[in-house]
Amino acid sequence: MRVQHRHIIYIGGYDPRGLAQYYRMFRTELRKFARLYGIAATTTRPQTAASGEIASWTIETKAQDQDQDQDHGWQTRTDYDFLRFEDFIQRDLAQPIWSTVFNAVWIYWRLVLRGTAFRFFRANWRFFTFITWPHLILLAEAICCAAIAFAVEWGLDALGVPNLFSIVAAAAVFVALLGTLLKYTEKQTYVLYLLADTIWTWQFSHRQRPEWDERIDRFAQHLVKVAATSRTEEIVLVGHSSGSFLGVEILARALELDPSLGRHGPRVVLLTIGGNFPIVGFHAASTGFRNHLRRLAVEPSIDWIDCQARKDVMNFFQFDPLAAHGIDAGPARRNPTIVPVRFREIILPEHYKSFRWQFFRVHFQFVMANEIPHPYDFFMIACGPVPLAERMAVPQAALAVATGDPTAREWAWKQLEKARPGPNDAEELGTLEPTARRRG
């Protein structure tokens, strides 16, 4: 199958910037993608649904002259839906600073005392360090502010001010200083944002955010409608970052609405990139989510591709979303196909070195344009002619379609047409991407 018309449904992570920022990035990266491969790619402006919950645009992509033989060129149309949650996230971030701090600290210590934090550490120590980092910064700032407050109290005592008044004054100084420090260093530390993220994932895992569940249900209905009415060859549900577990929820609920979802009309594929399933699935209360993982693992009509990168500290690398959650699907298991991605292979060395320690920038590389042609290319996944499952099953052939000469492209299409996509063994990821120590 060669894709001429594809439908992408995109779910982002816990990002308050939402549609405006994402579309600007998408348009910029689309231009870079077109320059890299020497193709033409244009996009329309976003159109927002009446509900305000979905924004959509269309991309037209053309490689070479379509008057030539079909093996020598291709053209695709992509309908792109952006599912919006930023109103909820902006509301979270507008909460009073002290409410955010107290709730997040209380939740973090419950994670520690219940052993959930230790499970995070065993699954991926880098991710555990990342979620602990804002608490360490908060502690450091609190110690600095406490030292200043103590100095104020000592000075007032030296002046003969009664103890009660000096203690109250010192406490007021501590609260004011810490609140001010958190507020005005947020652009550098992201502490309040990360603490709000911790609160949200806890509440979502414990089903304390009904407004999120209600919107997810509506998005599941949207997916069912698209599958029933679309004339595309492929529907790809993309979940980036926290969108990974939201994507699982949307697809699983869509299958509950229409159990034959993937058996009629377009092929349906779930693509999770930079995923962090454990921040929901490792909670004892998340039985429903784990059941959804099990459902997708054995669903024969759905393909699920999970892309992971060692360099991204916000995702879980060398991680099997089923085994890590104690799910044994037995011989019926067919999902997910786990694909390692090495960012150093898709970004020019000088640019990679410039942002390799910028964790948010690295995290977003999953959805940005390549600088070097590679089988993993988000914009080729969205706009190219190769179906996603076949792209991951025969990656070098998929790359040859984009970069090879006519003879190479003819060979590539034959390989892709013979491909029978199947799941990868997550334990093999270490051989596919060696550790930094083993690379030397």
* 38 CB-side CA count, 13 A: 6
Q: Which tens digit of pLDDT belongs to each residue from 182-222?
A: 999 999 999 999 999 999 999 999 999 999 999 999 999 99
Q: How far apart are CA 333 and CA 294, in angstroms?
A: 9
Rounded alpha-carbon distances, angstroms, from residue 83 to 52, 56, 87, 367: 9, 9, 11, 15
- pTM summary value: 0.90
Q: Which tens digit of pLDDT belongs to each residue from 134-160?
A: 999 999 999 999 999 999 999 988 888
Q: Would you state the pLDDT for residue 426?
A: 38
Q: Would you state the pLDDT for residue 420?
A: 61
Which pLDDT tens digits describe the chain residue by residue (440 residues)? 899 999 999 999 999 999 999 999 999 999 999 999 999 999 999 999 999 999 999 999 998 754 445 545 799 999 999 999 999 999 999 999 999 999 999 999 999 999 999 999 999 998 999 999 999 999 999 999 999 999 999 998 888 888 888 999 999 999 999 999 999 999 999 999 999 999 999 999 999 999 999 999 999 999 999 999 999 999 999 999 999 999 999 999 999 999 999 898 899 999 999 999 999 999 999 999 999 999 999 999 999 999 999 999 999 998 999 999 999 999 999 999 999 999 999 999 989 888 878 889 999 999 999 999 999 999 999 999 999 999 999 999 999 999 988 889 889 999 998 876 554 443 343 333 333 332 22
